[in-house]
């Protein structure tokens, strides 16, 4: 199996992009990447981040192109480019205006988390002590995201909020980047209860390679990671699992501080790290960056997945899922 | 007892102000009013509302003056003017930036609710199904409000959030406009549990004359209202009770819709009203507007309060409370 045999989709990366890093994605054969353009940004700030992507598409149009519907991923693959799906890890760009969902969709955004670690106006984040579930505004936002075709992502949300999002959403939702808690206990990982409800509703899990989500952290073995994927596929169905590497690349410490502390606290918040271990974690040596996806494919094959199953997990599952997720409700009869 | 014997403070009005209405406040002998300048406004929108107050102070400086500390209320009374305390019924102007607390305080804001009916970034509102309490950001905001001298108001917050705000705040907090649930069961009114905790911490309740908070609504009798105040004073201590009339005046229906639905829903939300009873409620005939405060004072006297107690409830309690509440922490040793 070579990278030419595979369609590869990474359902989450947070990278300080430049030509060299786009070339790495091409070298790794990555056909589409969901890129993060908001953690705490408001509407105006995210407009600036979208403008930055307009410049990337202009300056590096030989390497990358925007994805607004799943068919754009087919086109990117045919053109030998990496398709870019714009997404938010928080609902902060919506601010308090339900109309902003449609505006942001029109600007190209296709995926949005309802909360990022903390309580948002829509849902509770996984670091709060208590979780009241989806808010009144959140229920309206879910309906509107369903209508326009913006995928709901609950990767950083708390459990009750996640279960309610699955229940309230008329369309399947995703957890683009997290692992089962049964593999590694972390506030960010997900219980079997959540994973079962996600799978039963037709949703998707993107397994993460961020060291804080891995058993053994940066030293996690490839075979342990791949066995976790195998177990998740057994729990959820092999069609319900993909990759969401959570690859973070080319950022300084101040960006990690921004992700963790935003503007909401004056004191350092160490998130998944700690004061003694505050910096970016080291990537596992078998997944340094976008060039190493074939290492994962090989590991999955060795774990016992068939070639067809490897193809699904590496990209075909996300592609099929996005066909419905990004289509406006009016065109899928929802 | 005449209005010249009384210092009158109203801890909440939401009025579309003009010279005529300021004259009504003077006619009623009102020495200070906490006015609402935000329900769903963000930082920039509230700057515009503050600029509007700058114009009021300029054009009607013979009638009104700004209150930035409690001593300004003494000055307003001496000058025969009504002191204006700027406040928010929501934390929306803080957006997601903890620094905005200090910025807004510097712009003259002295009172802020942590939530308005819905979940906010700081606390849960009284219309949500579930209440997770004060959020991570909320705990930071409480510390910052304590530091700069911005009073925490939980009038529209849910019970657990309110109890936690009382617990976490280093300074006494207020419920500027609500009534005991024992008087009239409404989502906006407060349980004896909350009122006891508020009183024990040195906080204040402002009793409301908004018909949805009254037993019998617009037809509530003055003697029933005054008996409720008497009972609240027995429960909380007479020093812990003042007036927060929640007088809404000179607004059209579209303003009520804004208060209720903000930008968070496309469907009408009727709040304390209903589809069949959607409009502004009619005021009780013994409290039509700011000219009728003496009716309340008389009613309180008839209910059994002493002259001194009436003076406290009508204004002296708020004045004493504001002396500490509006002072920066550095000047009160907190």
Which pLDDT score is estimated for A208? Answer: 98
**CB A297, CB A306: distance < 8 Å:** no
Model confidence band, residue B334 (pLDDT cutoffs 50, 70, 90)? very low
Which pLDDT score is estimated for A123? Answer: 98
- Count, in order, helices (H) and strands (E) of chain A: 13, 10
> In angstroms, rounded to a whole number, what is the distance separating the alpha carbons of residues B11 and B204?
10
- Count, in order, helices (H) and strands (E) of chain B: 13, 10
Which pLDDT score is estimated for B272? Answer: 78
Range of lowest pLDDT (A160-174, B70-84, B260-274): B260-274
* Nearest-by-Cβ selection for A96 from B98, B262, B266: B262
ipTM of the prediction: 0.92
Would the pLDDT of A333 be above 60? no
Mutate to test the interface with A, among B127, B131, B141, B263 (most CBs of A within 10 A): B263
User: With contacts defined as CB-CB under 8 Å, which chain A residues touch B132?
Assistant: 119, 124, 128-132
Which pLDDT score is estimated for A329? Answer: 82
**pLDDT, greater one: A329 or B111:** B111
Contact call for A121 and B124, based on CB within 8 A: no
Helix (H, G, I), strand (E, B) or coil at A163: helix
- B99 has a chain A CB within 8 A of its CB: yes
Name residues 167-226 of chain B within 8 A of A (Cβ).
Answer: none
Would the pLDDT of A12 be above 70? yes
Answer positive or negative: Cα dihedral of B169, B170, B175, B181.
Answer: positive
**CB B33, CB B90: distance < 8 Å:** no
pLDDT tens digits, A233-255: 999 999 999 999 999 999 999 99
pLDDT tens digits, A188-228: 999 999 999 999 999 999 999 999 999 999 999 999 999 99
User: With contacts defined as CB-CB under 8 Å, which chain B residues touch A95?
Assistant: 42, 95
Tell me how long chain B is. Answer: 334
Domain residue ranges of chain A, discontinuous segments joined by +: 8-332
Which class for A253: exposed (0-12), middle (13-18), buried (19 or more C-beta within 10 A)? exposed
> In angstroms, rounded to a whole number, what is the distance separating the alpha carbons of residues B312 and B301?
12
Answer positive or negative: Cα dihedral of B39, A44, A263, B331.
Answer: negative
* Nearest-by-Cβ selection for B42 from A95, A118, A132: A95
> In angstroms, rounded to a whole number, what is the distance separating the alpha carbons of residues A128 and A311?
37
To the nearest whole number, what is the mean pLDDT of chain A?
A: 96
pLDDT tens digits, A97-122: 999 999 999 999 999 999 999 999 99
Model confidence band, residue B257 (pLDDT cutoffs 50, 70, 90)? very high
Model confidence band, residue B332 (pLDDT cutoffs 50, 70, 90)? low
CA distances A327 to A77, A277, B234, Å, are: 19, 42, 62
Would the pLDDT of A78 be above 90? yes
Query: How close are the terminal C-alpha atoms of chain A, in Å?
Result: 38
Would the pLDDT of A331 be above 80? no
To the nearest whole number, what is the mean pLDDT of chain B?
A: 96
**CB A233, CB A304: distance < 8 Å:** no
Would the pLDDT of A334 be above 90? no
Helix (H, G, I), strand (E, B) or coil at B244: coil
Contact call for B119 and A135, based on CB within 8 A: yes
- 3-class secondary structure per residue, B151-216: EEECCCECHHHHHHHHHHCCCCCEECCCCECCCCCCCCCECHHHHHHHHHCCCEEEECCCHHHCCC
User: With contacts defined as CB-CB under 8 Å, which chain B residues touch A262?
Assistant: 96
Would the pLDDT of A17 be above 90? yes
Backbone angles phi, psi at B74, to 5 degrees: -55, -45
Helix (H, G, I), strand (E, B) or coil at A103: helix
Nearest residue in chain B measured CA to CA from A137: B264
> In angstroms, rounded to a whole number, what is the distance separating the alpha carbons of residues A167 and A160?
10
**CB A151, CB A173: distance < 8 Å:** yes
Of A262, A321, A283, give the one whose Cα is nearest residue A73. A321
* Mean pLDDT on B33-53: 97
The radius of gyration of chain B from alpha carbons, rounded to an integer in Å, stands at 18
DSSP E strand stretches across chain B: 8-15, 30-38, 64-66, 82-88, 109-113, 151-153, 174-175, 204-207, 241-243, 247-249
Which pLDDT score is estimated for B5? Answer: 85
* Mean pLDDT on A261-286: 90
> In angstroms, rounded to a whole number, what is the distance separating the alpha carbons of residues B161 and B178?
16
**CB B291, CB B20: distance < 8 Å:** no
Q: How many CB atoms lie within 10 A of CB B308?
A: 9
> In angstroms, rounded to a whole number, what is the distance separating the alpha carbons of residues B152 and B161?
12
CATH code for the part of the protein at A8-332:
3.20.20.140
Helix (H, G, I), strand (E, B) or coil at B240: helix
**CB B319, CB B12: distance < 8 Å:** no
Name residues 114-143 of chain A within 8 A of B (Cβ).
Answer: 118-121, 124, 127-133, 135-138, 140
Mutate to test the interface with B, among A44, A265, A266 (most CBs of B within 10 A): A265
- A266 has a chain B CB within 8 A of its CB: yes
> In angstroms, rounded to a whole number, what is the distance separating the alpha carbons of residues B186 and B178?
10
The single residue listed with the structure tokens 């507007």 is B289
pLDDT tens digits, A43-71: 999 999 999 999 999 999 999 999 999 99
Task: Work out how many CB contacts closer than 8 A connect A with B.
Answer: 94
Range of lowest pLDDT (A20-24, A82-86, B157-161, B256-260): B256-260
CA distance A96 to chain B (A): 6
Q: How many CB atoms lie within 10 A of CB A59?
A: 13
How far from the centroid of its chain's Cα atoms is residue A131's Cα?
A: 22
* Mean pLDDT on A260-288: 90
Contact call for B263 and A99, based on CB within 8 A: yes
**pLDDT, greater one: A332 or B20:** B20
Which pLDDT score is estimated for B275? Answer: 86
Alpha helices per DSSP H over A171-271: 192-200, 222-236, 253-261
């Amino acid at each position: 199996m070579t990278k030419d045999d595979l369609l590869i989709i990474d359902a989450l990366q947070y990278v300080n992009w430049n030509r060299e890093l786009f070339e790495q994605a091409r070298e790794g054969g990555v056909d589409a990447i969901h890129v993060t353009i908001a953690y705490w940004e408001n509407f105006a700030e995210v407009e600036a981040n979208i403008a930055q992507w307009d410049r990337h598409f202009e300056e590096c149009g030989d390497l990358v192109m925007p994805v607004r519907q799943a068919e754009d991923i087919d086109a990117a693959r045919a053109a030998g480019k990496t398709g870019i799906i714009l997404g938010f890890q928080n609902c902060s760009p919506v601010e308090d205006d339900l109309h902003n969902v449609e505006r942001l969709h029109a600007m190209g955004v296709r995926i949005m988390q309802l909360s990022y670690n903390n309580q948002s106006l829509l849902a509770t984040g996984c670091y709060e002590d208590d979780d009241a579930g989806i808010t009144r505004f959140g229920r309206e936002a879910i309906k509107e995201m369903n209508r326009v075709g913006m995928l709901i992502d609950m990767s950083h949300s708390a459990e009750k909020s996640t279960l309610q999002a699955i229940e309230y959403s008329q369309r399947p939702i995703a957890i683009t980047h997290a692992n089962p808690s049964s593999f590694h206990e972390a506030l960010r990982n997900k219980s079997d209860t959540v994973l079962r409800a996600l799978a039963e509703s037709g949703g998707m899990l993107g397994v993460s390679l961020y060291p804080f989500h891995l058993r053994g952290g940066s030293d996690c073995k490839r075979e342990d990671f791949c066995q976790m994927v195998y177990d998740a596929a057994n729990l959820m169905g092999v069609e319900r699992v993909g990759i969401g590497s959570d690859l973070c690349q080319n950022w300084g410490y101040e960006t990690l501080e921004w992700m963790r502390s935003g503007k909401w606290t004056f004191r350092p918040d160490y998130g998944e790290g700690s004061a003694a271990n505050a910096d970016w974690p080291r990537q596992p040596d078998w997944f340094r960056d976008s060039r190493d996806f074939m290492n994962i494919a090989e590991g999955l094959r060795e774990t016992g997945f068939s070639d067809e199953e490897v193809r699904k997990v590496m990209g075909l599952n996300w592609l099929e899922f996005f066909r419905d997720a990004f289509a406006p409700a009016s065109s899928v009869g929802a």
